[in-house]
């Protein structure tokens, strides 16, 4: 089987390699074993006998979408018998299900055992990466085995359609699974696993050395600043380890108890610490003082003395922490009356608040003129030896 000019064809001189990208497995773990009923995206990888090499991107590409420019396309909506083609994966590539052949499914309609090298399988269209398509697990009354969209090798019997097509599984639901091969039943394909270099295995079965790589360990894995290395000897699932296998995510500041004089930083649950346990400097900020920034007290209150020495209890200061009530005029003593004025407290002095921490005479006292004539001393009537306290002059 080969992929010629983007279409699936027979070839006696060239064989194509294909990569099955399972959507059932963790995509960060390469080379995981396949199972029947796995859903896969099929990528044309390369010709294994000197033909044109094709890139094998491992994910979404900027020019061709998922898994590059040679990805198996879905059946045509109006004529599914058209020859299967390979083209851009695009944003939503086609997905296919690996089905155990009728002889397996006859005894277990949901057969999902592992697929080994040399194992047979049928290929059923199963929708796209984001949109599902009704799949069939066994024999259907209208289209036969596995439904109406099965990859079929026409075996030269349908030159009008081409060499391959998406067609009815057909066949009969009979003991032993029924016949296979077009037109008696579904086409059964075979897995021929190549080695790591793309060369077919030497024998009828592959060896561990040909197809497998040693599993990595966490011994030399370096965790980033937001993770802590797990203890003990850990063997990873693949040839390379992942951060989740070797490292434990450090805690966040969400539950960190800040000490006296400190408050939690903004969005503490979103702050991942660089160590376990977290440090106060990562999770907490120092509480402000009444002087930084300079606290603005409300009307009738004043900033307490030495505001820089007052540490507030939270992220923001409060009036009771930084401010004191201004005094009222009833606490102010007006001066004694004199010859010119009579001094008295302002009305309702107990409810009149001063503007600062200390009241003034202008705020708290009224001065009423006495209207008395000024005391004038004229000569020579002023006695030079007067020692009394009379004001008669």
How much is the pLDDT for 44? 83
Round to whole Å and give the CA distance between 339 and 377: 16
Q: CA nearest 53: which of 14, 26, 93? A: 14
How much is the pLDDT for 18? 83
- Cβ-contact 186, 166 below 8 angstroms: no
SS3 percent helix, strand, coil of the chain, rounded to 5, is 10, 25, 60
Round to whole Å and give the CA distance between 169 and 137: 12
Three-state DSSP at 151 gives: strand
Weakly modelled stretches of the chain, pLDDT under 50: 2, 49-53, 381-382, 384-386, 390, 392-393
- Cβ-contact 342, 365 below 8 angstroms: no
Round to whole Å and give the CA distance between 310 and 292: 10
- Cβ-contact 251, 227 below 8 angstroms: no
pTM of the full structure: 0.48
Length of the chain in residues, anyone? 393
- The pLDDT tens digits of the residues spanning 175-196 come to 667 778 888 888 888 887 665 5
First to last CA, the chain: 141
Q: Which residues contact 233 (CB under 8 A, 6 or more apart)?
A: 217, 218, 219
Rounded to 5 degrees, what angle do the CA atoms 270, 272, 276 make?
A: 145
Phi, psi of 248 (to 5 degrees): -110, 130
How much is the pLDDT for 68? 82
Cis check for the bond before 227: say yes or no (omega within 30 of 0). Answer: no
DSSP 362-376: HHHEEEEE--PPPP-
- The pLDDT tens digits of the residues spanning 207-239 come to 777 667 788 999 999 999 889 999 889 999 888
Phi, psi of 367 (to 5 degrees): -120, 115
Q: Which residues contact 210 (CB under 8 A, 6 or more apart)?
A: 195, 196, 201, 202
Count other Cβ atoms within 10 Å, centred on residue 124: 25
How many CA atoms does the CB half-sphere of 225 hold within 13 Å?
5
């Amino acid at each position: 089987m080969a992929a010629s000019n983007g279409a699936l064809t027979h070839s006696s001189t060239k064989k194509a390699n294909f990569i099955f990208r399972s959507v059932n497995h963790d995509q960060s773990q390469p080379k995981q074993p396949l199972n029947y009923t796995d859903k896969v995206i099929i990528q044309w990888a390369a010709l294994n006998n000197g033909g044109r090499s094709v890139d094998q991107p491992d994910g979404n590409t900027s020019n061709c979408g998922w898994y590059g420019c040679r990805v198996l396309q879905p059946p045509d909506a109006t004529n599914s018998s058209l020859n299967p083609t390979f083209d851009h994966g695009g944003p939503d590539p086609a997905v296919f299900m690996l089905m155990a052949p009728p002889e397996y499914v006859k005894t277990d309609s949901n057969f999902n055992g592992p697929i080994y090298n040399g194992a047979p399988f049928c290929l059923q269209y199963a929708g796209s990466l984001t949109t599902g398509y009704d799949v069939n697990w066994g024999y259907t009354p209208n289209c036969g085995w596995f439904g109406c969209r099965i990859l079929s090798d026409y075996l030269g019997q349908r030159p009008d359609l081409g060499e391959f097509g998406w067609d009815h599984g057909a066949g009969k639901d009979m003991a032993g699974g029924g016949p296979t091969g077009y037109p008696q039943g579904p086409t059964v394909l075979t897995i021929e696993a190549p080695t790591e270099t793309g060369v077919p295995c030497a024998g009828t079965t592959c060896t561990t050395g040909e197809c497998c790589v040693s599993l990595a360990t966490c011994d030399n894995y370096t965790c980033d600043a937001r993770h802590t290395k797990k203890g003990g000897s850990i063997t990873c699932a693949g040839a390379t380890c992942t951060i989740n296998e070797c490292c434990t995510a450090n805690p966040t500041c969400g539950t960190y108890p800040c000490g006296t004089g400190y408050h939690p930083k903004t969005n503490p649950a979103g702050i991942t610490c660089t160590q376990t346990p977290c440090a106060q400097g990562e999770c907490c900020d120092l509480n402000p003082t009444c002087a930084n920034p300079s606290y603005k007290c409300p009307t009738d209150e004043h900033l307490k003395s030495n505001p820089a020495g007052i540490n507030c209890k939270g992220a923001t200061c409060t009036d009771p922490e930084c401010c004191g009530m201004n005094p009222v005029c009833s606490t102010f003593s007006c001066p004694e009356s004199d010859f010119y004025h009579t001094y008295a407290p302002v009305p309702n002095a107990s409810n009149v608040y001063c503007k600062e921490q200390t009241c003034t005479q202008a705020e708290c006292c009224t001065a009423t003129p006495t209207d008395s004539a000024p005391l004038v001393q004229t000569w020579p009537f002023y006695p030079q030896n007067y020692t009394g306290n009379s004001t008669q002059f």
